[in-house]
Structure 1
Amino acid sequence: MTPFTERVIEIMKDIPYGKVMTYGQIAANAGSKQAARQVVRILHSMSGKYQLPWHRVINAQGKIGIQSEEGFWEQRTRLESEGVKVDNHGKISLECYQWFPGKETEEDINEI
């Protein structure tokens, strides 16, 4: 496994309940700004093996990127069960729900 893949897995495992990150954001945090598609492949091939919270990863527009209807609804349901609001078009407010590793808010600190 490459160091990039290891870092992507580590970042994804750390996404908190009720928060999301984008594919590109994960790629940048793992050291390769242009590797969003590689993050998609890692997520697709390794979610089960590493028990990754795949549903917390969305596209750069703040939308659920899964094309299949079944996958779309599963991701939406999982996000909503964590309190993430998803509109009728599969859009999530990045302003409200996006997580930035290392930038905990006062609310996050109070939960610890």
Structure 2
Amino acid sequence: MDPRHQRIYAAIAAIPAGRVASYGQIALRAGLPGRARLVGKALAETPDGLELPWHRVLHADGTVALARGSSGFDEQCRCLRAEGVAVRNGRVSMRAFGLDCEVDLDRALWGFD
């Protein structure tokens, strides 16, 4: 497995339930600033059996990345709502539900503040 993908998967796994992060935030947390598209590629290539909270990863403006009306779009919205995240018109308020607490991700990934 690509070591960059491993770092991306670790960053995604560290997103707490009820919170969301953008592709760019995940790239930054994985030590890959500016590589938001690589995050999308890694998600598309997630190995079978690897359980990730993929539904917590959104565009920077809080919109669901999958096509509106697709089964993936509906599943992502359903999973987010099940965690208490408000989804309106395919968008989540990054201010209300986003990872504005970078310290939490640092602690989850690396064990320090």
Normalised to the residue count of structure 1, the TM-score between the two structures is: 0.83
Work out the CA distance in 1 between the residues paired with 2:26 and 2:59: 11
Other-structure match for 2:37:
37
For structure 2, list consecutive stretches of 5 or more residues without a partner in the other structure. 106-113
1:47 to 1:67, Cα distance in 2 relative to 1, 3 A: farther
Which has more helix, going by share of residues? 1
Seq. identity, %: 37
Q: How many residues align?
A: 103
Contact 1:12 1:53 in 2 (8 A): yes
Misfit runs of 4+, over 6 Å: none
Q: Which amino acid aligns with 2:56?
A: R
Residue by residue over 1:33-91, the C-alpha shift from the partner in whole angstroms, topping out at 9 and shown as x without a partner, is 22111101111211643201110100111110101521111100110011000112x11
C-alpha displacement at 1:28, in angstroms? 1.2
Work out the CA distance in 2 between the residues paired with 1:34 and 1:73: 28
Q: CA RMSD in A?
A: 1.7
For structure 1, list consecutive stretches of 5 or more residues without a partner in the other structure. 105-112
Work out the CA distance in 2 between the residues paired with 1:34 and 1:80: 29
C-alpha displacement at 1:101, in angstroms? 4.2
Say whether 1:94 aligns with 2:94.
yes
1:77 to 1:47, Cα distance in 2 relative to 1, 3 A: farther
Normalised to the residue count of structure 2, the TM-score between the two structures is: 0.82
Q: Which amino acid aligns with 2:78?
A: T
* Matched position secondary structure for 1:95: helix
